[in-house]
Amino acid sequence: MDEEKITQAFEEFGITTEIRCEQAFAICEKYGIPKLDIARYCNRHDPRIKIRGCQLGCFK
């Protein structure tokens, strides 16, 4: 997982405490980052970044 790349992408998208599924998918596509890496980053980040608006209904 390239944390520096994800951090940069999140900064560009203005993500600090929450991310929506649509944003995560857009970041994955634009930067070539696997979706699982985005999820891992959100869980490991301190404080955690909440996933909102999950397209699968897993996160609310």
Tokens 């985005």, residue located: 38
Q: What is the mean pLDDT of the chain?
A: 87
- Domain ranges for the chain: 3-52
pLDDT digits (tens, 9 = 90+) for 12-27: 999 999 999 889 999 9
pLDDT digits (tens, 9 = 90+) for 26-55: 999 999 999 889 989 999 988 889 988 777
Q: Quote the pLDDT of residue 26.
A: 93
The first and second tokens of residue 22, run together, are 């649509």
Q: Determine the Cα–Cα distance for residues 9 and 58; give it in Å rounded to an integer.
A: 23
